[in-house]
Amino acid sequence: MKTDYLKFTLLLFALTSCSNGLTKISSGKKIDDRLVGVWAGSEQDQQIEGAQKIWKMTRNDDGTFLLNFKTIIKGESDEFTEKGNWWVKNGKFYEFHDNSGETDIYKYEVLDNNRIKFISKQINIEMNTESYQFIDTRK
């Protein structure tokens, strides 16, 4: 009986400790393992009326990211690459951009294994809309 209780307790501990998917990285910050990988997304008219943004985001398990995106405005396109660090805290996603020195903050929701919804809380570029949101899809 005592052995069964011990096995049950260990199993319960293993399940609950893995359930939140958070991993502490070398910086001391935490990442959500479900966000690691290569993701794609797009948005239309949210940042600038008449503009489309398409991106590929690679979030690494060491808390770094590489963001490649293309903007298309009136048939003209530009491509950009950004690097930085990402982490999560209290249900929010933080994205520090090396080039600007700014950190964007989003509320995030993992919809399933292949989709994450982001809603901006603090973003350091002007937007055409009050509530900038998008969905990243796993590639």
- pLDDT 10s digits, 106-137: 999 999 999 999 999 998 777 666 778 999 99
Measured CA to CA in angstroms, residue 119 lies from 16, 38, 79, 133 at distances of 27, 19, 23, 4
- pLDDT 10s digits, 51-107: 999 999 999 999 999 999 999 999 999 999 999 999 999 999 999 999 999 999 999
User: CB within 8 A of 70, min separation 6: which ones?
Assistant: 53, 54, 55, 77, 78, 79, 80
Pick left, alpha or beta for residue 37 (phi over 0 → left; psi -120 to 50 → alpha; otherwise beta): left
Instruction: Look at the domain 22-138 and name its fold.
Output: Lipocalin (2.40.128)
Fill in the DSSP letter of residue 139: -
| Dihedral angle of Cα 12, 18, 22, 23, to the nearest 10 degrees | 110
User: CB within 8 A of 64, min separation 6: which ones?
Assistant: 83, 84, 85, 86
Q: Is 17 helix (H, G, I), strand (E, B) or coil?
A: helix
pLDDT over threshold 70, residue 3 = no
Handedness of CA 123, 125, 126, 131 (dihedral sign): negative
- pLDDT 10s digits, 17-54: 445 789 999 999 999 999 999 999 999 988 788 899 99
pLDDT over threshold 90, residue 7 = no
